Structure formats: structure tokens, C-alpha cells
Chains A and B, each alone.
Chain A
Amino acid sequence: MPPQVVIFSPDKLRGGITKEVLRRAGIETLLISKVAKAKGALVADSPQALVLDTMGCLPEEINILLEHCRTLKQTTVILLGRSSLIEAIAADRGNTIPLSDPLDPELVAEKVKTAMASPPGLNTEEPQDLQADLIEFLRLE
């Protein structure tokens, strides 16, 4: 089964710690440090969450991955790094959770669990009613 969470981090320590904390929380992840591989994983696995660690990232790497995530409505992006950078990015896009430094691995795990419990794009407040939809569509009121 493909991992439901992808971690992108060029920093071995931060990436490793995040992966380990999520593993202890029962979440299997794929840890990637190269942007080309990360793109491939996003396309192939359509993960429920992408933990994008901006520490040590080139600006182009961040842009490439975020652009890619625009097409993945089911993927929540959790941004890690300096608050000045990630809050600016998060303000510009929906479905993004900024968690500024210092790295708080337990908070990351909590946010990932929340993202996986209620994935974006699913309207949980209004249960789908197929009959009502068809009636509306066919204008049979």
C-alpha cells in the first residue's frame, strides 16, 4: 500500500526526526530529499498529506512542489520552517498548515493525523444524497 504521507526535507536530521515521530504515531511515510523524486511520489501515490520542510530548500523547489500540489485536491500541505516564509506561502493558498520553527515533531504528528482523519475536498457536513442530486439535476421538483 503506498504511503499516505510524503515528507520532503533536504535536511537529513529534520526529515529523519519527522519520519520517526510519525512512525511512532502509526503513520507510514515516504521521506524524500530530492524534488524530482518528490514530484514522482506525489503523482504516483496521491498522498493525503505532504510535509514540506522548507529549511534548506531552494525557492524553486518549494515552488515546484506547491504548484504540483494545486492539482492534488486531496493533499493537505504542512509547511515547516521559518515563520516569515511559511506564513506568507500559507496565506496565498488554501489547504495549507504552517508550523513555524522550532520544529515541533509532536505537533506535526497531530496535524498529520487530523489531515488524514478529515481529508480536504470531502464535505463531511453534508452527506451525499444521490437521489436529491438527481432530482435537482433533472429538475424534477
Chain B
Amino acid sequence: MAAPIPAEIPSPPLKTSEKEIGATPEITPGPVGLDIGTSHIVSAQNRGSHIQTVNQLNAFFTVPRSKFAANLLKQKEIMHFDKDTLFYIVGYAADSFANMFNTVTKRPIKEGILSPSEKEGLAVVKAVVNTLIQKPKNFGEVLCFGVPGEPVGAPAVGSVVYHESVIKMFLTRMGYTPVSLNEGMAIVLAELANDDYTGIGISMGGGMCNVCLSYLSFPVITFSIQRAGDYIDQMVGISVAEPSTKIKGIKEAELDLSRAPQGAIHTALHIFYDDLINFLLNNLQRVLAATDKLPKITKPIPIVISGGTAMPKGFQGKFATALTQITLPIEISEVRLASDPLNTTAKGALIMAMTEAA
């Protein structure tokens, strides 16, 4: 097995955009990186002078089928598909509809993998992906997508193997050559080029945290925990008797983990962030202590953290402080945040796709 030598990528910063409702995806030749997350799906492509990422909400909302609804959806160019007696509205448009009806959207992915309770989950994911990318200009174009690692401890809600296989199947039918990549490894590829791709990449998304310890671009250890941003929102919501959507809004807008919390909601957010970080680090300690795969690493290695859950102010400091309380069999040089936490996984997947295509 040859060591993957990641391709050069343009150094200018990522340009990112949210998918406009009704905008058709661009068809550009070249490899594609895809991050299929619990909250969002993000695509990344190399435009030469910059990397273009586009993100779409990975959610859906159903309305009963009717001529009126059909005309409205067509008129407003709202991405949807129909099945049986329902229209499935997907993406950010689903959020708008849910708000109109004072309810919440549904998610096709739960805790990082296709939700077995959503029968049309795969169809929704396909529809969301189709808002971002179309059939490739060159048949067989390489597309790399992130997949979670095997969950530690509790069994997965669904199956990582099933999740990976069905996504590969539909991407193949689209005309791509799909390649899967551990999400934690995607962080390594995107952020640890200057560290010889040696270090720990952690992706903290909505449904799952994915961890990868890489040595010279080889993913030596990978695992996931099924707690992340959604867990914090739900637990805080239960603790303070508020809807998790409200908690999420406060978390994303106001939370500062470097300051003492004020009020019940902020206090609960601090508590559950501590809980999540400690859970993650304890599992990291367990996995590293139990493995026989770890090579001898003489130099200290960095930890890079990415994902929306890691974005609140003060998160990096809190994580670094918690790290001092555990003992790992390897020395850590620093803890740092990814330069663009929401798009790092897609960027890493693109780097892998470009390497495979070369």
C-alpha cells in the first residue's frame, strides 16, 4: 500500500457559500470532496485560484401532495421530490417551511449515519447531494466522501458499513468513482500538511465526534463517539426545560466558554460542554491505551479540532485544559482549531480525491 501523497492545493483561503434556494448546482470538471454530516452536507471543488465549498442543510420537511403545493414548489424553485402521498422538501428550504408551521425539520442522518427510522433517509440525502453536485462532466470523476469511524462503547444506531456502502452505490450511479475517507483523517489531510500528516484530527459535528491518529498520512487509529452538538442541545434543553432548537440558537450566537456562565442556559451549556470534552478525552485515553497499533512516535504531535461544535469562543482553551487531566501514551505538542471548522472535512476529502485522481 503506497503512502497517499496529498496533492498540492491552492493556498488562498476557502471561499464558501450556502446553497441558494433554487440555484442549480454547477458542473465543473475535476475531483470533488463531500462531507455528509448530520447537520449539513458540504461539497468542495478546486477552482484553480481557490477552493469552492458549498453547504446545504441536511434536513427535510414533508407536506401532503396536492396540485396547489406542486405549483407553489415549482414556482419558488424549491428542491423537493415526491413519494407516495407526500412532497419531501429538502435543504434550507425545509427549515423555512418548518418555521412557517412552527415545527422542526427531520434529519435523514442520526448520530453520523443514515437513520434507520427514516425510511426515505437515503432518498433525502441523494436529493440534498443533488442540490450541490450534478453528474460529473467526465464519467468516473473521483469523488471522496467522509465516513465516520466505528463507535466506541455503545453499538451504532445503524451500521457504518451499510451507511458507507449505500452512499458509494448512489455516487457510483451518478457517474463518480467514489472513495471513502475517515472524517478524522480528512481533518488531518486538511490541516496537518506542515506536520508531515502526523497528529490527531478530531471532527466534532452535530451527531458524532470522529477521531483519527495519523502517522505520516497513515490513519493508524480511528474511532468515533456518538455524542456531539446535538447531544449538548438535547441535554441542556431537558435540563432547563427549553426546546433544543432554542438552545442551539443561543449556543451558536452567544456562548463564550472562556467566561463564567450567567443564567441557567449558559450554565447548562458549560456543564454539557465539559461533559462532552471529558467523554471524548477519556475514550481517547482508553483507545490509545488498549491498542497495539500505535507505532513509536518520538516527537510530540498536535491535535487539530474541527466542526461546528468546536466553534464557540473559548472551546480550544477548555479542551486544552481538560487534556492536562488525562495521561496519553504520546506527547501532545499543541491543541489548535481548524482554520475553517465548518468546511475542513470537505476540504480534506477534496485533497484525497485530488490525490486519487492524480
Contacts and interface: CB of A to CB of B under 8 A. Distances in A.
A15 B1 contact: yes
Contacts of B3: 16-17, 19-20, 23
A105 B296 contact: yes
A21 B295 CA distance: 12
B296 A16 contact: no
B319 to A, nearest CB: 26
Contact of B218 (A17, A23, A31, A101): A17
B1 A102 contact: no
A31 B3 CA distance: 11
B207 to A, nearest CB: 27
A70 B296 CA distance: 30
B315 interface: no
Contact of A13 (B220, B296, B298): B220
A19 B217 CA distance: 13
* Most central of B215, B295, B298 by chain A CB within 10 Å: B295
Contact of B295 (A12, A19, A23, A102): A102
A106 interface: yes
Given A12-B1, A31-B1, A17 B296 contact: no
Contacts of A15: 1
B216 A20 contact: yes
Nearest to A18: B295
Interface in A1-44: 12-17, 19-21, 23, 31
B151 to A, nearest CB: 21
B1 A16 contact: yes
A104 B296 contact: yes
Contact of A107 (B216, B217, B218, B296): B296
A13 B4 CA distance: 12
Interface of A: 12-17, 19-21, 23, 31, 101-107
**Which 10 A-B pairs give the minimum distances between C-beta atoms?**
A104-B296, A20-B3, A103-B295, A16-B1, A12-B1, A102-B296, A20-B216, A17-B218, A16-B218, A13-B218
10 contacts: A13-B219, A13-B293, A15-B1, A17-B215, A17-B220, A17-B295, A19-B3, A20-B3, A102-B294, A102-B296
Given A16-B3, A16-B218, 15 more contacts: A13-B220, A13-B293, A14-B293, A16-B1, A17-B218, A17-B220, A19-B2, A20-B218, A101-B292, A102-B292, A103-B295, A103-B296, A106-B296, A106-B298, A107-B296
